[in-house]
Amino acid sequence: MDGIRVRFSAQVDGIYLLIPTTELVVAPGEAARYGLVDPVNQSDEPVVLDAVVEAHKLVVGSAFTPESCPKFLQMHSRHWLGLAFGKKAFYSGFTINGCYAYELGSTYSVDSGYKGLPFDRARIKDGDAIEVFAFQDSYGMDYYTYFMQDGKRVREIDLAAGEPVTLKLEGLMYGYGGPMNRADRKSHRLLSDVTEAQLVTVDPQTGLMLPIPDAITDEDDGLVTIGFDEPGTYYVSALGGEVRYNAHLVFPWLKVNVSS
- Is residue 152 located within the same domain as residue 99? no
Mean local confidence (pLDDT), 228-243: 97
Mean per-residue pLDDT, 67-76: 96
Whole-angstrom distance, CA of residue 208 vs CA of residue 203: 5
Regarding whether 128 and 74 lie in a shared domain, the answer is yes
pLDDT at 225 over 70: yes
Same domain as 87, residue 66:
yes
Q: In this structure, are 126 and 168 located in the same domain?
A: no
Same domain, 16 and 129: yes
Q: Among candidates 197, 101, 186, which has minimal Cα distance to 151? A: 186
- CATH number of the domain to which 74 belongs: 2.170.130
Q: Which stretches within 21-68 are classed as H helix?
A: 30-33, 48-60
Domain containing 236 — which CATH number? 2.60.40.10
Q: Are residues 99 and 29 in the same domain?
A: yes
Residue-number span of the structural domain to which 201 is assigned: 143-259
**Same domain assignment for residues 48 and 88:** yes
Tell whether 89 and 210 lie within a shared domain: no
The answer on 58 and 82 residing in a single domain is: yes
- The pLDDT assigned to 174 comes to 95
In this structure, the answer to whether residues 66 and 173 fall within a common structural domain is: no
124 and 153, same domain (yes or no): no
Q: What is the per-residue pLDDT for 1?
A: 60
**Tens of pLDDT, residues 239-256:** 999 998 889 999 999 999
pLDDT in tens, 14-54: 999 999 999 999 999 999 999 999 888 778 899 999 999 99
Q: Give the total number of structural domains in the chain.
A: 2
Q: Same domain for 122 and 10?
A: yes
| Sequence-separated (6 or more) residues with CB below 8 Å from residue 162 | 227, 228, 229
Number of CB atoms found within 10 A of residue 248's CB: 14
Task: Determine the Cα angle at 203 with ends 147 and 244, to 5°.
Answer: 30
The pLDDT of residue 77 is above 80:
no
Domain boundary among 107, 134, 161: 134
Domain boundary among 134, 167, 197: 134
Of 91, 107, 134, the residue that ends a domain is 134
The pTM score is: 0.94
Mean pLDDT of the chain: 95
